[in-house]
Structure 1
């Protein structure tokens, strides 16, 4: 609405009557948001942030409305509080989703920039949290493609579609958030700069490029870890939740190689499609981890509710040796709730020459059925059943996956 209003304000088709009708619709939206704000805040996710940004926007751009002053103050308080509470100290976000992380950054970018333009500067503390969230996303990103793991719930949301980059390309939002925080760009000039033009003006396109090193990520509160190599990276999930989980996917691993997501996350597809597609991809079996007896790591008691919340811990993360080798090890207690409890521990070892070793150890005093799940990119392949060797024929060359089992006793 507001892009349309300001974009076509001088058009002959824009009449005073039409602007009045639009202003009335904006006022009704403000009343609806205020009346239902408590529910949005109770979700502790993008809903509350977006509602706060809506009130802030109406208050700034429509001062002639009767409630605009109250909406402006309320929106400011909501934005400041949720920026502090929902962006963790390590830069990760309470909603456990990379795409919702982008939505959150878009909301805060819009709110902060709109406040600056209209002489209502939001706090330095909020800006610092947004900078941490930007840094988190940068370190979750593939260097070559600009894409990120398709991790967590994803309903296709993109609240600031200001460029022609691919939907999966996160360089536009990272570039804009990095510029907001530093006054510099972290990527060389490209189509991802269009957000800068829309949000900050032409002068942003002349800012210098200072590209930070993309170091391994250890976001302990959010539970996100990356291991980097010269040709790609591994991402692994290992969290103890402080906010509601969206999926049962502990120790899930993504692998990226030469700009390709060769071992990947299925995403969401749809929340409300007919069975079996009504958010089914949130289950453990659709992630690159191990299931026990065909069960999820937590019990799904609602479309967006899992209980009891599992706990995870990192045992080792040693990346001091750089390219020679990097190792990570962690475990979760999701299957300790079973009558015959099962512990699941996973280790990842990155070796020279783009080799990755992933080891799973499952222990229990009882008998169980264990199943290892790997979702691989959709390309031609060769399968050698005797050797347990799969060769993916990717555009960047062959990528080999080999599996094996060791049993005790």
Structure 2
């Protein structure tokens, strides 16, 4: 009778931080964050630069909008422009515009310049507006710093939340999945709004969105996510 096979060597633990082509990843306290960093080697399909996903175990707490459909029914003709646009992602939008102007339904022009930072990445768009995002994980607390510059009038930060019970509080939102606090070095407008996500192709559901807006160029946002 053949003996039992001996176990192979144990696999190493995954790295706490990792950078690859177009993304950066962090792991801490059972959570994982992914940052969309570029560079744009191929034409971008979505205006989603510096978008951040945050997973707490299996829960997508801060989530991407998805795709909708490439050829939606006439009554849902807004799907494509919405889900490929900057407002459908966890990033900063300047002056209610996408990060890049559209040439056609599937082609963006004037791709931003991008680069990496020790804890994140930065972009400079075709109008000279600049966004630098840094991510720091400390156990079950995550801090995201968004530094803004350039010739903009209104900057809007959106955090697309997991469906659930969220309450708008002074300085952020709270619910069973955690607390998200947003501050800025300028007067800040906060709102909890209904947005949309596409969890599967051709499917669209409502999703809560925390929106933060400032009107002072040179400002910065700080977001602190505290997980239970």
**TM-score surpassing 0.5?**
yes
2:58 to 259, 279, 282: 259
Q: How many residues align?
A: 179
> Does 1:235 find its partner at 2:34?
yes
Q: CA deviation at 1:280?
A: 2.6
SS of equivalent to 1:345: strand
2:92 to 282, 290, 313: 290
Q: CA deviation at 1:209?
A: 8.7
- Please give the residue correspondences for 1:240-319 in structure 2 after superposition, counting only pairs within 5 Å: 240-273=39-72, 274=74, 275-278=77-80, 280-316=82-118
- Please give the residue correspondences for 1:2-401 in structure 2 after superposition, counting only pairs within 5 Å: 211-215=11-15, 216-219=17-20, 222-273=21-72, 274=74, 275-278=77-80, 280-316=82-118, 328-334=119-125, 337-338=126-127, 341-352=128-139, 354-364=140-150, 366-384=151-169, 387-394=170-177, 399-401=178-180
SS of equivalent to 1:278: helix
- Cα distance in 2 for partners of 1:279, 1:296 equals 10
- Alignment correspondent of 1:80: none
Which one has a larger percent strand, Structure 1 or Structure 2? Answer: 2
Q: CA deviation at 1:300?
A: 1.5
Distance 1:243 1:230, change over 3 A: same
Give the structure-1-normalised TM-score.
Answer: 0.41
- Alignment correspondent of 2:211: none
Identify unmatched segments of 5+ residues in structure 2: 1-6, 187-217, 220-228
Q: CA deviation at 1:404?
A: 1.1
| 2:24–2:120 Cα contact (<8 Å) kept | no
Q: CA deviation at 1:358?
A: 0.7
| 1:239–1:311 Cα contact (<8 Å) kept | no
Please provide the CA RMSD for this pair: 2.1
SS of equivalent to 2:183: coil
| 2:54–2:63 Cα contact (<8 Å) kept | yes
- Cα distance in 2 for partners of 1:250, 1:283 equals 10
- Cα distance in 2 for partners of 1:258, 1:291 equals 28
Q: CA deviation at 1:383?
A: 1.6
Which has the larger Rg? Answer: 1
Q: CA deviation at 1:370?
A: 0.6
1:215-245 residue CA offsets vs partner (Å, 9 max, x unmatched): 23210xx211001112111110111211111
Which one has a larger percent helix, Structure 1 or Structure 2? Answer: 1
